[in-house]
Structure 1
Amino acid sequence: MSDLSAFPITKKWPATQPDRLQLYSLPTPNGVKVSIMLEEIGLPYEVHKVSFETNDQTTPEFLSLNPNNKIPAILDPDGPGGKPLALFESGAILVYLAEKTGKLIPQDAAGRYEALQWVMFQMGGVGPMFGQLGFFHKFAGEDFEDKRPRDRYVAESKRLLGVLDMHLKGRAWMVGDAYGIADIAIFPWVRNPVGFYGAGELVGFAQFKEVARVLETFVARPAVVRGLDIPKR
């Protein structure tokens, strides 16, 4: 049995199955990327809920794993060289899990870099811009009479959706016909404006038919259905 006692996070969230990968998360767009990935690849894991309501993410135990106090984070008892590996940042975790298992990432170098560029596109563009859209539209819209900040992120969200829509024409998934980490990175975030943020009309989502097509296929996958509800709210 693996000994994870050297990691302070296990004091607050004890590992009842220490031989399994430990996931510290919430069902947010970034959080479900990793739970969906784990469900897709079938790697056994144990999930721990990091509650924002009680500021779990700012506790010393969580900060010992992720000093940036964001979810998700993982602790893999069977990391490189058979040693435990602590890892944060959802994009890095997706790449790590894909390379660890040899699943959901192209095996040829060109395909791998094509997948990675779209993961980076999500990390640097889709996530931050859609997140700001949600902040100004859903959470803080009534507090700001000046709508220019909101409109800035509406415009940028539309632009990014347009990039995706053009790219997806003639493709089943982000990297051709192969479903993989680029889709797992992007589509939990695409789901948010039309769902949780209630901003579908604001960004004109109906005009992005290719994005809507792939999103519908994505959310119908059994592993995605399971992963979107982990950990349970």
Structure 2
Amino acid sequence: MIDIYSWATPNGHKVHIMLEECGLDYRAHAIDIGAGEQFAKAFLEISPNNKIPAIVDSDGPDGKPMSLFESGAILIYLAGKTGQFLGASDREKFNVLQWLMFQMGGLGPMLGQAHHFRIYAPEKIDYAINRYTNEAKRLYGVLDRQLSKTAYLAGDEYTIADIACFPWTRSWKNQGLELSDFPSVQRWFDAIDARPAVQRGVTVLADKRRAMTDDKAKDILFGKTQYEKR
């Protein structure tokens, strides 16, 4: 059994989708990031960077429980555990991993900044809004060029690279984009969005999510609470 400690965000959805795609038994535990539950001592024991998601696998590689944080690392772990969505040959695996790293190092952080400055920042800063909106458009352009050549990001097979990127593209309106401006991304998005496991995955913990716009939630997520020494 895998216990996932998470919230209904793009990074949470990555792992929710992967668990559904792999058909693994799991229990989802809500970590309300707007209420500060990510700073609880018990959660920090498995996620020292106080970020969701994190998992505890009761049947780890050596038969003993194993905890893991960082969504990209969790995707790789689950792919290795099940032998799915990572490719068979070394060449295929490294091709998948480069697109996973593209999401972890570029797509996720930059789209996250676009969300922050366009929606959550206490003051509207034109420079920041323009910078991250334009970077979002550039990154979608990278996706679009790749997907004009291949069915999925790492080739003709659906992999953890697609699972990682897809949840971030669900919020394209918040990023100041029109998905129709990127026809290959649109085609890819629609194909993934239609997968039953994806449809199930994006509903995990979704009923508990609320708008993070009140002052307390903003302080916890973006203010002094976030930066306290622990």
TM superposition score category, shorter chain reference: 0.7 to 0.9
Aligned equivalents of 1:111, 1:154: Cα separation in 2: 32
Instruction: Give 1:87's aligned residue.
Output: 68
SS, match of residue 81 in structure 1: coil
State the Cα distance separating 1:54 from its structure 2 match.
2.3
Instruction: Give 1:176's aligned residue.
Output: 155
For the 8 Å contact 1:155–1:203, the answer to whether it is kept is: no
State the Cα distance separating 1:207 from its structure 2 match.
1.4
Identity %: 48
Aligned equivalents of 2:72, 2:171: Cα separation in 1: 18
Higher helix share: 2
TM-score (norm 1): 0.86
Aligned equivalents of 1:116, 1:53: Cα separation in 2: 31
Aligned equivalents of 1:166, 1:155: Cα separation in 2: 17
Aligned equivalents of 1:210, 1:31: Cα separation in 2: 25
- Choose the corresponding residue for 1:207, options 178, 181, 190: 181
State the Cα distance separating 1:55 from its structure 2 match.
1.0
The yes-or-no answer on 1:64 pairing with 2:45 is yes
Deviation digits for residues 162-215 of structure 1, max 9, x if unmatched? 000000013211122101100000111111123xx2x4xx33432111011111
Aligned equivalents of 2:76, 2:30: Cα separation in 1: 22
Question: Where does 1:185-224 land on structure 2 (aligned, <5 Å)?
Answer: 185-194=164-173, 197=174, 199=175, 202-224=176-198
SS, match of residue 33 in structure 1: helix
Aligned equivalents of 1:160, 1:170: Cα separation in 2: 16
Instruction: Give 2:133's aligned residue.
Output: 154
Gaps of 5+ in 2: 209-230
Deviation digits for residues 111-161 of structure 1, max 9, x if unmatched? 000000000000000000000000111122x612x3001111011111110
Instruction: State how many pairs are aligned.
Output: 207
For the 8 Å contact 1:158–1:204, the answer to whether it is kept is: no
For the 8 Å contact 2:172–2:178, the answer to whether it is kept is: no
Aligned equivalents of 2:105, 2:202: Cα separation in 1: 22
Q: Give the AA of the match of 1:179.
A: Y
SS, match of residue 71 in structure 1: coil
Instruction: Give 2:36's aligned residue.
Output: 55
TM-score (norm 2): 0.87
Instruction: Give 1:143's aligned residue.
Output: 123
Instruction: Give 2:11's aligned residue.
Output: 30
The list of structure 1 runs, each at least 4 consecutive aligned residues, that deviate by more than 2 angstroms after superposition, is: 202-206
The yes-or-no answer on 1:124 pairing with 2:111 is no
Q: Give the AA of the match of 1:74.
A: I
Gaps of 5+ in 1: 1-19
Instruction: Give 1:106's aligned residue.
Output: 87
Q: Give the AA of the match of 1:57.
A: Q
Aligned equivalents of 2:180, 2:119: Cα separation in 1: 19
SS, match of residue 62 in structure 2: helix
Deviation digits for residues 62-112 of structure 1, max 9, x if unmatched? 111111110000000111111111000000000000011101110100000
Aligned equivalents of 1:24, 1:94: Cα separation in 2: 14
SS, match of residue 82 in structure 1: coil
SS, match of residue 23 in structure 1: strand
Instruction: Give 1:5's aligned residue.
Output: none
